[in-house]
């Protein structure tokens, strides 16, 4: 395994939804060795070329630790699967800043049928970025979206991951827990405009869940988002509200498609993800060398339009600036 895998069979396997090939492709996009990284870029290019631009649904699930995202994702994977879609879950957990290690898993595979080829679960450590999305997450979504109809991206909701996940998902779902003060924190942090859907989990708690829902609606009203952003109460534990959740997700995707913005949004978000990768790898320094943030964005946009994948576009900018 000291040479990167052959692309031809790998691409074919991923597009056919082969478990082993999808897993190998994900390991390839996580690989930091130069030869592998180059091959990973080529893999993404080919997968993008073979995946219809409007295929599938990428759903980001975020929210503070402990709100029950994992059991919710588990229930949602089951629901989406029963509706006939193949489903992949990418679960991102933070790495320990001291050791670089991470504890992953402890979640979604539990009640799923290991014999069902239409379900795939992969965990990923965020790497050096405490609370951010893993650097390879964007590439991983490209791999998974080529193989599965629905791709769920679960993040711990710490630090920048709520806003990061927006760049790789069509629909962002924010999960909050009743009586936790979460809502207030979101208002303070000014991220009420990011999610496309709010979930109050643990609806089985009754009245406190209703209170949390009301608080959310009030906050949304104040921000002028109330008309478009639905708020749902769910309980993964007692199976309440999951049908409504699936319906709301479908509705959001349909709205994107009808307004013609699904593909455009994906393109716009890919640029944002590239910008994020750029600052992660090279910091403000490269932005300055590239002629400022606006100029860097314009050039990334152009490269992406020409068919580059985000990681590749970032590398090209870096080379042009005499880095990397």
Partner 1 sequence: MQRDRPWILRTYSGHSTPSASNALYRANLARGQTGLSVAFDLPTQTGYDADHPLARGEVGRTGVPVGHLGDMEVLFDGLDLATMNTSMTINATAPWLMALYVACAERQGAPPTTLRGTTQNDIIKEYLSRGTYMLPPGPSLRLTADLVLYAVEHVPDFNPINVCSYHLQEAGATPEQELAYALCTAITVLDTVRERGIGPARLSSVFGRLSFFVNAGIRFVEEVCKLRAFAELWDRLGLERYGVADPKLRRFRYGVQVNSLGLTEAQPENNISRIVLQMLGVTLSRNVRARAIQLPAWNEALGLPRPFDQQLSLRAQQILAHETDLLEYPDLLDGSPVVAERTRQIREAAWAEVERVLASGGMVAAVESGDVKERLVASNAARLARIESGEQIVVGVNHFTESEPSPLLADGGAGAILRIDPRAEEEQRESLVAWRRQRDADAAARALDAVREAARSAANLMPASIAAARAGVTTGEWAAALRDVFGEYRAPTGVGAQAPTPVGDEVSPLRREVATLAREIGRRPKLLVGKPGLDGHSNGAEQIALRARDAGFEVVYEGIRSTPEEIAAAAVQEGAHVVGLSILSGAHLELVAETLGALRQRGGESIPVVVGGIIPDADAAVLLSSGVARVYTPKHYQVDSILSGLVEVVRQAHA
Out of 105, 118, 159, 230, the only residue in the binding site for partner 1 (CB under 8 A) is 105
207 binds partner 1 (CB under 8 A): no
179 binds partner 1 (CB under 8 A): no
Nearer to partner 1, 97 or 190 (CB): 97
321 binds partner 1 (CB under 8 A): no
CB of 95 to partner 1, least distance (A): 8
Nearer to partner 1, 122 or 233 (CB): 122
Piece in contact with partner 1 (CB under 8 A), picked from 23-31, 49-57, 199-207, 305-313? 23-31
Burial state string for 256-268 with b = 16 or more CB within 10 A and e = fewer than 16:
beeeeebeeebee
Piece in contact with partner 1 (CB under 8 A), picked from 109-117, 162-170, 224-232, 291-299? 109-117
CB of 97 to partner 1, least distance (A): 10
SS3 117: coil
107 binds partner 1 (CB under 8 A): yes
SS3 152: strand
Q: How many binding residues for partner 1 (CB under 8 A)? A: 36
Nearer to partner 1, 148 or 273 (CB): 148
Spatial neighbors of 224 by CB under 8 A, at least 6 apart, are: none
Residue 230 CA to residue 199 CA, distance in Å, equals 9
Site string for partner 1, 116-145 (x = CB under 8 A): ----xxxx-x--------------------
Piece in contact with partner 1 (CB under 8 A), picked from 103-111, 217-225, 228-236, 295-303? 103-111
Nearer to partner 1, 19 or 288 (CB): 19
26 binds partner 1 (CB under 8 A): yes
Residue 315 CA to residue 324 CA, distance in Å, equals 7
Instruction: Give long-range contacts, CB 8 A cutoff, 24+ apart: 14-17.
Output: 14/47, 14/143, 14/146, 14/147, 15/47, 15/50, 15/51, 15/146, 15/147, 16/147, 17/86, 17/117, 17/118, 17/147, 17/148
100 binds partner 1 (CB under 8 A): yes
Sort 53 into a burial class: Cβ within 10 Å, 0-12 / 13-18 / 19+: exposed
Residue 133 CA to residue 146 CA, distance in Å, equals 20
What DSSP state is assigned to residue 108? G
User: Which among 6, 4, 7 is positioned nearest to 27, based on CA atoms?
Assistant: 4
181 binds partner 1 (CB under 8 A): no
Spatial neighbors of 246 by CB under 8 A, at least 6 apart, are: 76, 79, 80, 83
Residues forming the site for partner 1 (CB under 8 A)? 1-2, 19-20, 22-24, 26-27, 30-33, 36, 95-96, 98-107, 109-111, 114-115, 120-123, 125
């Amino acid at each position: 395994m000291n040479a990167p895998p052959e692309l031809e069979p790998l691409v074919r396997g991923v597009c056919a939804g082969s478990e082993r090939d999808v897993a190998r492709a994900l390991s390839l996009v996580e690989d930091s060795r130069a030869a592998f990284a180059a091959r990973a870029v080529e893999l993404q290019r080919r997968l993008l070329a073979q995946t219809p631009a409007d295929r599938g649904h990428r759903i980001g699930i975020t929210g503070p630790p402990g709100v029950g995202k994992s059991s919710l994702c588990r229930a949602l994977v089951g629901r989406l699967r029963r509706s006939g879609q193949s489903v992949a879950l990418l679960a991102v957990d933070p790495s320990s800043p001291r050791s670089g290690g991470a504890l992953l898993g402890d979640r979604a595979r539990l009640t799923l049928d290991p014999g069902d080829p239409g379900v795939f679960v992969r965990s990923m450590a965020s790497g050096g970025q405490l609370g951010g999305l893993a650097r390879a997450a964007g590439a991983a979504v490209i791999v998974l979206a080529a193989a599965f109809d629905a791709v769920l991206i679960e993040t711990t909701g710490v630090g920048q991951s709520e806003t990061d996940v927006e760049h790789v998902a069509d629909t962002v779902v924010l999960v909050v827990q009743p009586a936790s003060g979460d809502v207030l924190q979101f208002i303070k942090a000014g991220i009420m405009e990011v999610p496309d859907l709010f979930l109050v989990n643990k609806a089985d708690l009754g009245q406190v869940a209703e209170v949390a829902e009301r608080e959310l609606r009030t906050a949304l009203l104040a921000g002028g988002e109330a008309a478009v952003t639905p708020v749902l109460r769910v309980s993964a534990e007692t199976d309440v509200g999951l049908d409504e959740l699936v319906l709301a997700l479908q509705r959001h995707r349909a709205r994107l498609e009808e307004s013609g913005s699904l593909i455009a949004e994906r393109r716009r978000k890919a640029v944002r993800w590239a910008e994020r990768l750029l600052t992660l790898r090279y910091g403000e320094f490269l932005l300055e060398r590239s002629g400022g943030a606006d100029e860097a964005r314009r050039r990334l946009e152009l490269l992406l339009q020409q068919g580059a994948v985000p990681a590749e576009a970032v590398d090209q900018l870096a080379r042009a600036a005499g880095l990397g």
